[in-house]
Chains A and B, each alone.
Chain A
Amino acid sequence: MKISKIKGGGRQVELVGPESALLHQVLEGLTEAYQTAPGELDPMVANLWYGRAGLKEAGIRGEEAIHWIEGLHEVRLGRQAALQRWIKSLPKAGHPGVWKIAEEDVETLVASLNDHRLRRAGEFDFGEGDLEVKAMEKSKGDKRVALVEIHFLAWLIELILHE
């Protein structure tokens, strides 16, 4: 993967086949997860995206707490159009190619990719030790797939933020 700044803003990402396949998987998975109501999500994921920690103590209870969580869900639902745009602009799954991201999409893209990392970590209840590269090398099956996604997206986020 190689990333460069487009003249006038935005980013251009050169992807190899497996990277485009993985990004399709990530963005399609996010589309579905964002459409899912907070109460129907995996509880560990819901806790990371729509956590209620501290609300009660801050006096945010009942209707107000519901409104707070709904607001967080609405923000994520609002990313749907961008997600569809990115899926369309990605090279075909499994094919190498260039992916262009508009400057105004950078913030939402980074937040969405980070959400996917949180989601995958929540699904497997990963802690600090699980997220070390050594742990990924030793892992197997679905856990390994989740860790590969988490590390790949960390790399992509770092490249986008530093370019």
Chain B
Amino acid sequence: MQASTTTPEVVPGQETDLSEAFARGWRVVVWNDPVNLMSYVVFVFMRVLGFDETKAKQHMLEVHEQGKSVVAVETREKAEFYCHRLQEFGLKSTLEAATA
């Protein structure tokens, strides 16, 4: 297979959109709830976010004691992926712009 030699065309104004899309400007927040078990939350953090047990427990305790924890700061696409995955497991998660 040959590598393309075409230079991608950048439309003025799209540069900002692109830099926003690739900047790690989005926080994934997990919120406390009364039903999910602590051990289950640790398990989900390890599976979805790839945390080791110590880090997963730290974030779980932050959720439990402070009501929420920022579990990732990522590009928009990756943050959406994590947020959706956490919701698939029944965790209350939201996205926030890091500048907010």
Contact = CB atoms under 8 A, between A and B. Distances in A.
Interface of A: 48-49, 51, 53-54, 57-58, 60, 68, 71-72, 75-76, 107, 110-111, 114-115, 117-118, 121, 126-128, 131, 150, 154, 157-158, 161-162
B94 interface: yes
A87 to B, nearest CB: 21
Contacts, number: 63
A58 B90 contact: no
Interface residues of B, number: 22
Contacts of A58: 26, 94-97
12 contacts: A51-B87, A53-B92, A60-B95, A71-B84, A114-B40, A115-B90, A128-B34, A131-B35, A157-B37, A157-B39, A161-B40, A162-B39
Nearest 9 CB-CB pairs, A to B?
A54-B94, A58-B95, A128-B34, A121-B35, A75-B88, A118-B90, A161-B39, A111-B89, A114-B90
Interface in B55-100: 80, 84, 87-90, 92-97
